[in-house]
Amino acid sequence: AYHVSFTYLCLFVSQLVWLGINAFLFVHFYIVFLDERFYYTRVLLGHALSWARAPAACLNFNCMLILLPVCRNLLSFLRGTIQCCSRTAARQLDRNITFHKLVAYMIALHTAIHIIAHLFNFERFMNAQLDGNASDINYVLSQIGNGDNRSFLNPIRTNDTTIVMFTTIAGLTGVVITLALILIITSSMEVIRRSYFEVFWFTHHLFVVFFIGLVLHGVGRIVRGQTVTSLENHKPNECEKYFEQWGKNGSHCQYPEFAGNPPMTWKWVVAPMFLYLCERLIRFIRSQQKVVITKVVMHPSKTLELQMKKKGFKMEVGQYVFMQCPSISQLEWHPFTLTSAPEEDHFSVHIRIVGDWTEHTGFQQNMSMAVDGPFGTASEDVFRYEAVVLVGAGIGVTPFASILKSVWYKHVQENADIFTKKIYFYWLCPETQAFEWFADLLQSLEGQMGEKDMSDFLSYNIYLTRWKDKEAAHLRVHHEAENDPITGLKQKTLYGKPNWDTEFSTIAAKHPGSKVGVFLCGPPVLGEQLAKQCIAHSESGVKFIFNKENF
Amino acid sequence: MGKIEWAMWANEQALAAGLIYLTGGIVGVAGQFRGWQFAAFGVAAGCFVCMLEYPRGKRSKGTSVARTGQYCFTVCVKAFGPLTQNYYVRALLHAALSVPGGFMLATVLGCVCLGMASLIYLSAAIHGEHWEPILLTKEVKTAVGESIKEPPSNPPPRPPAELRRKRVEDVEGAAYVNPMPVITNE
C-alpha cells in the first residue's frame, strides 16, 4: 500500500510547487508595479495597474508550460531517460493531459483577472484624458506627449470616444486571443470532446492564433513607467504637488519622462514553441514510416483486431500507440491500447466500431497506416510479484490482454523460472456483448495451460454486473454443463459484483508470507475499494500492494 | 469532419458567452464606467442567454447528458414552442443581443463570443438541427405495499426438473416436512 502513497505524494508535491510558483510570480510582479517608476502611472490607474500586471506574469509562465505536456514524443524520451533512475518520477509524466488541463484552467483564471483589471485601467485612462483641465494632475499627465516631442504616459491620445481599443495592438490582439481561448475551451468540454472529437481537435489548433497574438500583445509597449534618468532629477513624491509648475522657469521639477516596457512574453514561450514544432515534425516523420497491416480479424460484437508490423517497433506490456489512417483523415491521430505481447512478431490493437473515426470498417491488409509510439509506462511491475491480482472493468481489460499473453510467452519460450507463479484475474463487465474476443483469448490460454499441465497458473473470474432474464433462463437449463454456457470457458461466469473481502481473504490464505501485487484498470471508485482491501488484508505475513497504473 | 450536431457546441459557446456578457456588464455597472447603460443591457442579456442555454437539448443520435437541475429550465424553454426550437431564430436572437455589447469595452468580449455562438447556431440550423427537450417519461409506480399482498405469479428459480426428481433409492432422505399446514377437504 506504500507504493501508491509515494506516487500520489510526488504528484501532490509537484502540483504544490507549480501553484507556489504561480503565487510567487503574482505577488512579486504586483509589488514590482508598486515601485517608484510607476508612481505617475498609478496616479492615473491606482492599484488596477498591479492587478493587471501580476496575472500577466502568471500568464507568461503558464503559457510557457501548456505546450510541454502535449509533446508526447519528448516526454517519451524523457521517461525513458528517467526510468533508469526512478520509475515513480517516470510515472508522473503519464499524467500529462491532466496537467495540461490544470494549466489551461489557470490561464483562463488569470485571463479573467487581467481583463477585468484592464477594464478599470482603460476607464481611468479615458477619464484622465477627457475629464479635467490644467488644474487636474491626471489631465496634465495625460497631456504629456501632445505636441511637445515627449513620450506619452497615457496611451489614449485623442478625445474620440469611439472604441479606441481597436487602435492599439494590445487591445486588438487581446480580443482576438481571448476569443480564440474561449473557443478552444468550449470545444474542449467533455461532452463535445467525447462525441465530436474532430470539432475539439480542429478548434484546438486556434492555439496557433493564440500564441502569435500573445507574442504581439506587448509590442505596442503601452505599459509605461518613468525612465531611470528621469527619476534622478524628478522625484515623484516631491514633485507631484508642483505639477502646475513643471518645466516652468524657476521650478526645480522638470517634466517626468516616460518609456514603455519592452515585450517580455516571447522570452517565456519561444523555447516551448520550438519544442512543440519539433514534436509535430517527429510525428510527421513517424507517419511516413511504413506500417503494414498483416492481418485483420473481425471479432463478434463489432470488434476489429488489426495485426501490424513496423520496422524497429519495440513495445512493452500495457503501452498504447497513436494511429492515423490517411484514407480516413490526414490529420487525426487516435490512441489505442496495445493488445499484443512484446514476444510476438507483430503488434496488435483491438478496435471497437463505434463513433465516427472507427466506423470506417474498410480496414484491409496492406492498407497504409501510420503509428506513433508506443507511449505509456510499461506495466512490467506485474512480473515482479510471485502472486498477482489483476482487475479489469469493462473495456479496461484491454491492456491485460497484453500482460496475460506476455506472461504466458515468458513461461513457454524462456522456460526459465519466471518469478510470477500465480495470477488471479477478475473481469467485471456489465454485459456479455463486448466479451467475446477476450473470451477467445482466455479459452486459448486455458487450452495451452491444460496441455502444459499448468491449469492452476491462471485463475480467472468473470463477473457480469448486469444481466437479463433471458440469460438467466439459459443458464438454468445448462447449469450442469462442464463449460460455462456463455463464455465456453471451464471456469464459470459469476453474477453481481465480487465480494472482495472474501476474495482477498482466500488469496491471503493461499500465499502466506509473500507480497501480492494488485493491478487495476478501471474506475477510481473501484480503485478506492481495492486500496482499502489491500490495507485491510495486509497483515501477518502477506502484503497486498496496490498499484494504481495509469493505463 | 464527421457527422456532428453543431448545436451541442453552439450551446456550450452560447452559455460561456452569456456568462462573459454578464460578468462584463456587472463590472461596467459596478465601476460606473462611461456607457454603463450598455453594461446594464449586458447584464440583462447575459442572464437571459444563460437561462435559455442552460438546458441541453436532446441529441438526435446517442445519449444526452443533462446539466444538473436543468428540468425547470427545460420546461420554461419548451413552453415557447417553435421560438426556442428553431435554431434560425436562436441565431438571429443571439446576433441581435450581441450588438449593443460592441459599444462598450467591458461588454465587447461578450459581444464577440455571443456572435460566434450565433454563427455556430446558424450552421446547426442549416444542417437541419432543432432543439428537443430532454424529458424523462414518468413511469407509474405502484405502491410497494400493494404488490406484497399478492401471491407470487412465477415460481422461484430452481434447478431443472431432472434434478428435482425424487430419488427412488433413498425415499427417506428425499422426504421433507411441509412448512405450511395442509388441510384436506374431506
Nearest to A119 among B17, B106, B112 (CB): B106
**N-terminal to C-terminal alpha carbon distance within chain A:** 19
In a domain, B96, yes or no: yes
Interface subset of B 82-121, CB within 8 angstroms of A:
102-103, 105-106, 108-109, 112-113, 116
Question: Is A478 in a helix, a strand, or coil?
Answer: coil
Task: Measure in Å the smallest separation between the Cα of B106 and chain A Cα atoms.
Answer: 6
CB A199 within 8 A of CB B9: yes
| Among B44, B17, B15, B14, CA closest to B29 | B44
d(CA A318, CA A380) in angstroms, rounded, equals 8
**Which residues on B lie below 8 Å from A202 (Cβ)?**
1
Residue of B nearest to A469 (CA): B157
Matching residue, cell 505524494: A9
- Are B113 and A356 a contacting pair at CB < 8 A? no
Handedness of CA A72, A22, A153, A232 (dihedral sign): negative
Nearest to B12 among A112, A120, A192 (CB): A192
d(CA A469, CA A475) in angstroms, rounded, equals 10
| Among A292, A297, A323, CA closest to A310 | A292
pLDDT tier for residue B165 given thresholds of 50, 70 and 90? low
**Which residues on B lie below 8 Å from A179 (Cβ)?**
109, 112-113, 116
> What's the pLDDT score for residue A119?
93
Q: Report the DSSP pairing between strands A543-547 and A515-521.
A: parallel
Determine if residue A405 is left, alpha or beta; phi over 0 gives left, psi from -120 to 50 gives alpha, anything else beta: alpha
Locate A456 and state its grid cell: 492452476
Residue of A nearest to B163 (CA): A480
B20: contact with A, CB 8 A cutoff: yes
CB A179 within 8 A of CB A287: no
Nearest to A120 among B31, B34, B113 (CB): B31
> What's the pLDDT score for residue A415?
60
Handedness of CA B32, B36, B42, B45 (dihedral sign): positive
- Are B12 and A196 a contacting pair at CB < 8 A? no
d(CA A55, CA A42) in angstroms, rounded, equals 17
d(CA B14, CA B32) in angstroms, rounded, equals 26
CA distances from A189 to A358, A475, B16 (A): 21, 43, 11
Matching residue, cell 420554461: B76
pLDDT exceeds cutoff 90 at B44: yes
In a domain, B147, yes or no: no
**Which residues on A lie below 8 Å from B2 (Cβ)?**
196, 198, 356-357
In a domain, B166, yes or no: no
Give me the residues paired with residue A259 across strands.
A225
In a domain, B48, yes or no: yes
Q: Report the DSSP pairing between strands A515-521 and A370-375.
A: unpaired
d(CA B45, CA B102) in angstroms, rounded, equals 13
Locate A173 and state its grid cell: 490582439
Amino acid in the structure at residue A412: V
In a domain, B61, yes or no: yes
- Are A119 and B20 a contacting pair at CB < 8 A? no
**Which residues on A lie below 8 Å from B157 (Cβ)?**
472, 476
Cβ–Cβ pairs < 8 A, chains A and B? 86
**Which residues on B lie below 8 Å from A183 (Cβ)?**
13, 116
- Are B112 and A357 a contacting pair at CB < 8 A? no
Phi, psi of A211 (to 5 degrees): -70, -40
Locate A261 and state its grid cell: 516596457
Q: What is the DSSP string of B14-46?
A: HHHHHHHHHHHHHHHHHTT-TTHHHHHHHHHHH
Give me the residues paired with residue A297 across strands.
A305
**Which residues on A lie below 8 Å from B30 (Cβ)?**
none
d(CA A114, CA A119) in angstroms, rounded, equals 9
Task: Measure in Å the smallest separation between the Cα of B17 and chain A Cα atoms.
Answer: 9
Residue A387: partners with Cβ closer than 8 Å, 6 or more residues away: A420, A421, A422, A423, A424, A507, A510, A511, A514, A516, A517
Question: Can you give the pTM of this predicted structure?
Answer: 0.77
Number of domains in chain B: 1
Residue of A nearest to B15 (CA): A186
Give me the residues paired with residue A517 across strands.
A388, A545
B46: contact with A, CB 8 A cutoff: no
Q: How far is CA A254 from the centre of its chain?
A: 55
Nearest to A195 among B27, B62, B108 (CB): B62
DSSP at B133 = B
Task: Measure in Å the smallest separation between the Cα of B172 and chain A Cα atoms.
Answer: 25
Locate B164 and state its grid cell: 428435482
In a domain, B165, yes or no: no
Which residues of A make CB contacts under 8 Å with B? 112, 115-116, 119-120, 122-123, 126-127, 161, 163, 165, 175, 178-179, 182-183, 185-187, 189, 191-192, 195-196, 198-199, 202, 356-357, 472, 476-477, 479-480
**Which residues on A lie below 8 Å from B17 (Cβ)?**
182
CB A275 within 8 A of CB A269: no
Residue A152: partners with Cβ closer than 8 Å, 6 or more residues away: A144, A145, A146, A224, A258
Burial class (CB in 10 A: 0-12, 13-18, 19+), A447: exposed
d(CA B89, CA B82) in angstroms, rounded, equals 9
Residue of B nearest to A123 (CA): B33
ipTM of the complex: 0.75
Q: What is the DSSP string of B61-86?
A: SS---PPTT-HHHHHHHHHTTHHHHB
Q: What is the pLDDT along chain A (551 residues), one digit of tens a residue?
A: 445 556 667 778 888 999 999 999 999 999 999 999 999 999 999 999 999 999 999 999 999 999 998 998 888 777 767 666 655 555 555 578 888 999 999 999 999 999 999 999 999 988 888 887 888 888 888 888 887 788 889 888 776 654 666 778 898 999 999 999 999 999 999 888 877 878 888 899 999 999 999 999 999 888 999 999 998 888 888 888 888 888 887 778 888 899 998 999 999 999 999 999 999 999 888 878 888 888 888 877 777 888 999 888 888 888 888 888 776 666 667 778 889 988 888 999 888 766 555 555 556 666 678 888 788 766 777 888 889 999 888 777 888 888 888 888 887 776 666 778 888 988 888 765 666 788 788 888 888 888 877 778 888 888 877 655 555 556 556 555 556 655 656 566 777 788 888 888 888 888 888 888 888 887 878 888 888 888 888 877 788 888 766 54
Count CA atoms closer than 13 A to A520's CA, side-chain side.
20
Matching residue, cell 479459452: A443
Mutate to test the interface with A, among B4, B11, B105 (most CBs of A within 10 A): B105
d(CA A77, CA A97) in angstroms, rounded, equals 17
d(CA A447, CA A455) in angstroms, rounded, equals 9
d(CA B137, CA A382) in angstroms, rounded, equals 48
DSSP at A517 = E
- Are A123 and B34 a contacting pair at CB < 8 A? yes
B4: contact with A, CB 8 A cutoff: yes
Domain that holds residue B70: 6-126
> What's the pLDDT score for residue A4?
53
CB B40 within 8 A of CB A213: no
d(CA A72, CA A93) in angstroms, rounded, equals 9
Nearest to A123 among B13, B24, B33 (CB): B33
Residue of A nearest to B120 (CA): A183
B62: contact with A, CB 8 A cutoff: yes
Phi, psi of A302 (to 5 degrees): 55, 40
- Are A185 and B16 a contacting pair at CB < 8 A? yes
Locate A35 and state its grid cell: 515601485
Amino acid in the structure at residue B169: E
d(CA A65, CA A15) in angstroms, rounded, equals 13
Nearest to B105 among A122, A178, A199 (CB): A122
Residue of B nearest to A174 (CA): B109
In a domain, B81, yes or no: yes
| Secondary structure string (H, E, C) spanning A335-394 | EEEECCCCCCCCEEEEEECCCCHHHCCCCCCCCCEEEEEEECCCCHHHHHCCEEEEEEEH
Handedness of CA B101, B105, B110, B114 (dihedral sign): positive
d(CA A460, CA A458) in angstroms, rounded, equals 6
Locate A93 and state its grid cell: 509524466
- Are B1 and A120 a contacting pair at CB < 8 A? no
In a domain, B186, yes or no: no
- Share of chain A residues as helix, strand and coil, in percent rounded to the nearest 5: 55, 15, 30
Mutate to test the interface with B, among A164, A191, A356, A357 (most CBs of B within 10 A): A191
Task: Measure in Å the smallest separation between the Cα of B145 and chain A Cα atoms.
Answer: 24
* Sheet-wide strand order for A493-495: A493-495, A458-464, A422-429, A387-393, A515-521, A543-547
d(CA A159, CA A268) in angstroms, rounded, equals 36
Locate B43 and state its grid cell: 447584464
